[in-house]
Amino acid sequence: MTPRTLDHPDRSEIRLEDVLHALSDPVRLQVVGYLAGSGESSCSAIDLAVSKSTTTHHFRVLREAGVIRQVYRGTAKMSSLRREDLDALFPGLLDTVIRAYDTQRAATP
């Protein structure tokens, strides 16, 4: 009966090093790139080249670093970028990283 909850760092607890580390993995960059263009998505909506448990792991790293927010909705877990918090803390960072990711992906197919 307990509604399942997930720990998220408070905005004041988000550390730049942790955010950059969370973004320094190709799989997690792919997730962030996808979320940037899709708003809210379930974990399984993205086609990642790793197993289910590895996917869970990467989403948790992003959540614990403060990059994404996750909520349960039925059997699914919806994820979305914490744009407001990140933009307030580190203006422009998320956008420049996403643009850099898109640029690199376009350059190296």
Partner DNA sequence: TCCTTTGTACGACGGTCTTCGTAGTTTGAC
Partner DNA sequence: GTCAAACTACGAAGACCGTCGTACAAAGGA
User: Which residue among 52, 92, 96, 99 contacts DNA (CB under 7 A)?
Assistant: 52
Site stretch for DNA (CB under 7 A), options 21-29, 32-40, 81-89, 91-99: 21-29
Q: Which does 88 bind (CB under 5 to 8 A by kind): DNA, its own copies, none?
A: none
Rounded Cα gap, residues 95 and 45, in angstroms: 22
* Terminal CA-CA length for the chain: 47
- Is 21 a residue that touches its own copies (CB under 8 A)? yes
- 73: its two tokens: 């909705």
Q: Which helix (H) or strand (E) holds 72?
A: strand 68-73
Give the interface with its own copies as residue ranges (CB under 8 A). Answer: 15-18, 20-21, 23-26, 29, 89-93, 96-97, 99-101, 103-104
